[in-house]
Amino acid sequence: MRIVMLGPPGAGKGTQARYIAQNHNISHISTGDMLRESVERETEYGSRAKRYIEKGKLVPDDVVNGIVEERLPTGKNEGFLLDGYPRNLNQAEVLESILDKNAISLDGVLYIEIEDEKVIKRLTGRRVCQDCGENFHTVFNSPAENGICDKCGGDLKQREDDTPEVVKQRLEVYRENTEPLVEFYDKKSIIIDVSGNGTIQEVAERIEDKLKTL
Ligand code: AMP
């Protein structure tokens, strides 16, 4: 199964992607995670990407496309779930050409919809484990012990780009650059609409129901 996850920041793409990848035994390719990892490791890509991520802007296409070309599993029997890529039309075209070159195609584009107000609440309250990457929320999914990951005991921190000002910028970037991809994929008749409202479990069940039809 080859899937792209589409939707605004805070729609739950990362959380749902982890579940789907595990259930279906496919690779979870998150450009956001890979970029943050490069920033941590202070690689050349990372130092270029850092200032864009901090401001909630898109990292230049050549950096992101390069990472995806390197890491996307393109074997005939390999599945993947792309989370956070493509984020504009140029990236979508690059993805098309990678797929064409390998004679493979997407099975669907999961489009998770949610209102801005909810996105802001979700993202500003999000806390991420510094060790295992698990996500928590100060109100909707709080850990048993404040600031400590339930899963591995790591420290929970707020992402630098989850502050109210940067979240607002990320939403603007999404509307301008990423939302047009809904039409791009709709023309190919591969959009799968899912509401991002409700609990993590409710959204996961909705997604699994839709994936069964593929
Ligand atoms: P995410 O974890 O998907 O919310 O991504 C966090 C940040 O990483 C974004 O706000 C961008 O600055 C950067 N980023 C992630 N994926 C991409 C992409 N496909 N194109 C450009 N920038 C990206």
pLDDT at res. 165: 95
pLDDT of the residue at 213: 86
Catalytic residue (one of 2, 87, 122, 206)? 87
Strands (DSSP E) found in 7-162: 27-30, 80-83, 108-113, 126-129, 135-137, 156-157
User: What residues are in contact with ligand 1 under a 6 Å CB criterion?
Assistant: 9, 31-32, 35, 52-53, 56-59, 64, 84-85, 87, 91, 161, 170
| Interval between CA 113 and ligand 1 midpoint (Å) | 18
Contact 164, 171 (CB under 8 A): no
**Annotated catalytic, 170?**
yes
Reduced to 3 states (helix: H, G, I; strand: E, B; else coil), residue 4 is strand
Count other C-beta atoms under 10 Å from residue 124's C-beta. 16
d(CA 128, CA 135): 5
Tabulate helix, strand, coil % of the chain (nearest 5): 50, 15, 35
As averages over each run of 10 residues, the pLDDT of the chain (214 residues) reads: 96 93 95 94 92 96 94 95 98 98 97 95 95 92 96 96 95 97 97 95 96 89
Q: Which atom of ligand 1 is nearest to the CA of 13?
A: 3
Distance CA 26, CA 8 (A): 23
Expressed in angstroms and rounded, the spacing between residue 57 Cα and the centre of ligand 1 is 8
Listed residue (35, 37, 25) closest to 66, CA to CA = 35
Q: Where are the alpha helices (DSSP H) in 56-101?
A: 61-71, 89-101
Return the pLDDT at 124: 96
User: What is residue 65's predicted lDDT score, i.e. its pLDDT?
Assistant: 96
Give pLDDT, residue 204. Answer: 96
Task: Give the predicted TM-score (pTM) of the model.
Answer: 0.92
- State the pLDDT at residue 163: 95
What pLDDT, on the 0 to 100 scale, is given for residue 122? 93
